[in-house]
Amino acid sequence: MSGYTVAKLDEIEQMGDGRCPWRPIRHHMGIQAFGINSWTAPDAGDRIINEHGEEGDGGEEELYLVLGGHATFEVGDDKVDAPEGTLVFVAPGTRRTAFAEEAGTTVLAIGAPPGQPYTAFGWELWAPALPYYTSGDYDKAIEIMDPIVAEHPEYPGLLFNLACLESLAGRKDDAVGHLRTAIEKTPRFKDMAKTDSDFDPIREEPAFQELVG
């Protein structure tokens, strides 16, 4: 890289996983210091920001900017009218979601954890496998993720997700191996593995228990 990268937002390829399509700005530009992506709603009424809370250790502060169109945010128990140009900042641990009021509404989302370095987990590249994960076709999801994980060793989140898939598919040794590498890169995956039901099929395995405790 020459030290800088330039792109037009609408030229960044959209990705989809059943939710509103998004543009993986951070991954596309090679940003390592913070997360940034945009979501665009095809139709009015679409949920443009999934409901989530950024709870727990590593939960991120998130700033949303309505780049075009009009949205309504729901933050905790409050509703926030958000026409173009609105900035909505939400602290970790607060439930939030947003709906498009107009077709084509686009929301930019920026995030990082307070008091900690940002880690790029690479969840953006998980999208092609998500439908198969959701439908229970774990072997197909693994087939998709294997080359992506090999191509992007810099993203520990992909390793963790691959380990989840392998656990669900009954590939115990592969699951433990990939989970071990993910934990080596990002120690907080150890705590996440303790409670993630995707690992229930291998939870009693001695190698898993030795790794996760």
Partner 1 sequence: MTYSVAHLGELDRVPVMEGLEWRPIRRRLGITAFGVNAYTAEKVGDWIVEEHTEEQLGHEEMYMVVKGKATFTLGSETVDAPAGTIVFISDPQMKRKAVADEPETTVLAVGAKPGEAFTPSAWEWYFQAYAQAPEDGIETMRRGIAVDGERSPLYYHLACLEARVGRLDDARAHLARAIELDPGAAEHAAKDDDLKEVR
By the 8 A CB rule, do 86 and 62 touch? no
33 lies in the site for partner 1, by CB under 8 A: yes
Name the one range near partner 1 by CB under 8 A: 41-49, 76-84, 162-170, 187-195. 76-84
Helix axes 138-151, 156-168, angle to 10 degrees: 160
Tell the smallest beta-carbon distance from residue 130 to partner 1 (Å).
Answer: 25
Binding to partner 1 (CB under 8 A) within 108-137 occurs at 108, 110-118
153 lies in the site for partner 1, by CB under 8 A: no
90 lies in the site for partner 1, by CB under 8 A: yes
Name the one range near partner 1 by CB under 8 A: 24-32, 97-105, 174-182, 188-196. 24-32
Tell me the DSSP string of 144-163: HHHHHHHH-TT-HHHHHHHH
Give the 3-state secondary structure of residue 180.
Answer: helix
- Using CB under 8 A, pick the residue from 78, 187, 206, 213 that binds partner 1: 78
86 lies in the site for partner 1, by CB under 8 A: yes
- Between 83 and 201, name the residue whose CB sits nearer to partner 1: 83
By the 8 A CB rule, do 110 and 60 touch? no
Displacement of CA 4 from its chain's centroid (Å): 25
Q: Is 4 exposed, middle or buried (0-12, 13-18, 19+ CB in 10 A)?
A: exposed
Residue for token pair 């530009």: 29
Q: How far apart are CA 44 and CA 176, in angstroms?
A: 44
21 lies in the site for partner 1, by CB under 8 A: no
Q: Which residues bind partner 1 (CB under 8 A)?
A: 1, 3-10, 25, 29-34, 36, 60-61, 63, 65, 67, 75-76, 78, 80, 82-83, 85-91, 93-94, 96, 108, 110-118
